[in-house]
Homo-oligomer: A and B are copies of this chain.
Amino acid sequence: MPEPFDLADDTFASNGDRPKSITLKDVARLAGLSPITVSRALHNPKLVKPDTIARVKEAAAAMGYIPNMLAGSLATKRSQLIAAVVPQLSNSMFAETVQGLNDELSAHGYQLLLSVSNYSRQKEDDLLTAILSRQPDGIVLTGIHHQAGVRKKLLATGVPVVEAWDLTPSPIDIAIGFSQERVGEQVARHLLDQGYRRFASICARDERANRRRLALEAELQRHDIAPVATHMATPPTVLNLGREGFRAILAAGHAPEVVVCSSDVLAHGALIEAQAQGIAVPQELAIMGFGDFDFAAFTHPPISSVHIDKRAIGVQAAVSLIAKIEGRPLAQNVIDVGFTLIERGTTHKVA
């Protein structure tokens, strides 16, 4: 532990008295060169003689020089900044996407400006204004539905934009995700194939989750089946909402054969509630999750789910954005990362 009890003095106060930063010019002086040469030595070494590069590096190190990227970005019009807006961070699938995004960005020298919209389009819009003022080189948004005017505002700036976690034929710029509708439809077909007929759902009040639910119901309709019960849960999607949701469904007198949940977290809650009530899963009740969270394969029984490569969405967003920023053409501006139904212990063949 270095310098113990240096508190009194070190409590260097309000940032008026910040040490005057040492600049390129200072380094240049010490190295006996012009500022621009120092700049080049640091960022464009090919243009500088090895000797001088060494001299520069030495001087910079000696002075503890830290470049001022604000100034650099202002001059180059490249900020090396990517902004992302997610609906939520804790208890969400987005944390993984953000981590993937960040990892890939970091590997390419970009940094991440992160904002949380709390599922509010208005908030997203407001955040976007603040974000744009930082001149990001790229932006990642969640979803394809935004406040009126967002599309135009974004197009006006010309920043590359990724809309993640959904698909559309007409993205603002780039869309990376999967079809919510196809998920709902496929889940319905799969469960119908297994012989289930009495469906219930526990669904988060989330635009995408709801579209999956509606697509599932539409597919059921086509087979002349209507869901017996639907329980909506307000995010954040915590485990207890799954327990409560299933309890509510039972309390209303419904006896579903299968409960389809908009998230594995809810499915897990339903599973625990069922077990607590002595209902055998999957014999008496089947449960379907979504997202294929880390824990889904390891609960007891493991939860059948829809696998989404959450991390890949983030990584792919970074890759696409960087490609576009660096002027490389994209093969496609709508990327379907797909999904996979995963049959595990909470569902089984009935018919």
**Nearest B-chain residue to A5, judged by Cβ:** B170
Q: How many copies does the complex hold?
A: 2
**Given A79-B70, A300-B272, are A4 and B170 neighbors across the interface (CB < 8 Å)?**
yes
Instruction: State the CA gap A74–B75 with chains docked (Å).
Output: 11
**Given A1-B168, A14-B325, are A298 and B70 neighbors across the interface (CB < 8 Å)?**
no
Check A186 for interface membership: any CB of B closer than 8 A.
no
**Nearest B-chain residue to A97, judged by Cβ:** B90
Binds B, one of A29-37, A60-68, A198-206: A60-68
Check A248 for interface membership: any CB of B closer than 8 A.
no
Binds B, one of A45-53, A111-119, A214-222, A249-257: A111-119
Is the Cβ of A89 less than 8 Å from the Cβ of B69?
Answer: no
Is the Cβ of A333 less than 8 Å from the Cβ of B6?
Answer: no
Residues of B within 8 A of A168 (CB): 1
Restricting to A1-54, which residues have a CB under 8 Å from any CB of B? Answer: 1-7, 10-19, 21
Instruction: State the CA gap A11–B324 with chains docked (Å).
Output: 10
**Given A70-B74, A74-B74, A111-B113, are A170 and B7 neighbors across the interface (CB < 8 Å)?**
yes
Instruction: State the CA gap A239–B130 with chains docked (Å).
Output: 38
Whole-angstrom distance between the Cβ of A24 and the nearest chain B Cβ: 12
Residues of B within 8 A of A311 (CB): 90
Count residues of chain A with CB under 8 A from any CB of chain B.
Answer: 96
Question: A116 is contacted by which of B99, B236, B275, B324 (Cβ under 8 Å)?
Answer: B99
Check A297 for interface membership: any CB of B closer than 8 A.
yes
Check A160 for interface membership: any CB of B closer than 8 A.
yes
**Nearest B-chain residue to A67, judged by Cβ:** B133
- Proximity string of chain A (137-158) to chain B, C-beta cutoff 8 Å, 1 when within and 0 when not: 1000000000000010101111
Residues of B within 8 A of A106 (CB): 115-116, 127
Residues of B within 8 A of A333 (CB): 7, 11
Check A224 for interface membership: any CB of B closer than 8 A.
no
**23 A–B pairs (Cβ distance < 8 Å), ordered by A:** A1-B170, A2-B151, A7-B333, A13-B324, A14-B326, A15-B324, A18-B77, A18-B158, A18-B159, A19-B156, A66-B129, A66-B132, A69-B133, A70-B134, A89-B96, A89-B98, A106-B116, A111-B130, A236-B294, A238-B294, A240-B297, A275-B300, A276-B300
